[in-house]
Structure formats: structure tokens, C-alpha cells
């Protein structure tokens, strides 16, 4: 479901947004949606302490790995098979 958002801007601010949107061949509404989406993606989700807790928990596991040369060779062999994950 879509929601309507009303934002009050001073005339110079609105004109600048309008100019930028026009230069990108888009409506002011589309420019604002994209700007809000970009701002939302830049904001970190979750607390730093929670992220560190998850990293610490993952580091406690013993994951099977091989030497880097062996892993790179396996990757290269996989490219030649045409197999996709």
C-alpha cells in the first residue's frame, strides 16, 4: 500500500530540487523517492553492538577452508565447467 507524504519546503529549496529533477528527466516526486531511498540505504540498520555480537558468534565456528592457492584453483576449474550456483 502506498502512502502520501507532504513536505513543506522553502521556495528556493523547492526550485533547486525541481531544477535537479528536470536535469535528470524525472519528476520532483521521483527524484524525492530516489533521494529518500538512497538516504535510507546509507543509514545503518541495527545497533553496532548487535552486529559485533553476530560477528563474534560467527568467529567461534570452525569453518572448513583450504589454502588460498587451492581455493583459487577450484574457482578457476569451476569457471570452465559452466556450472552456476
Instruction: Report pTM.
Output: 0.53
Q: How far is CA 85 from CA 25, 61, 65, 78, 79, in A?
A: 39, 24, 18, 10, 11
CA dist 60 and 65 (Å) reads: 15
Q: Which of 12-16, 23-27, 72-76 has the lowest mean pLDDT?
A: 72-76
CA dist 30 and 33 (Å) reads: 5
pLDDT (tens digit, 9 = 90+) per residue, 26-80?
999 999 999 999 998 888 777 889 989 999 998 898 888 889 999 899 888 888 7
**Residue 9: its pLDDT value, please?**
96
Amino acid at each position: 500500500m502506498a502512502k502520501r507524504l507532504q513536505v513543506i519546503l522553502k521556495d528556493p529549496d523547492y526550485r533547486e530540487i525541481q531544477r535537479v529533477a528536470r536535469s535528470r528527466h524525472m519528476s520532483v516526486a521521483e527524484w524525492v523517492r530516489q533521494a529518500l531511498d538512497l538516504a535510507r540505504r546509507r543509514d545503518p540498520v541495527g545497533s553496532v553492538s548487535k552486529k559485533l555480537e553476530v560477528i563474534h558468534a560467527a568467529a567461534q565456528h570452525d569453518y572448513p577452508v583450504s589454502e588460498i592457492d587451492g581455493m583459487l584453483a577450484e574457482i578457476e576449474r569451476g569457471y570452465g565447467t559452466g556450472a552456476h550456483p
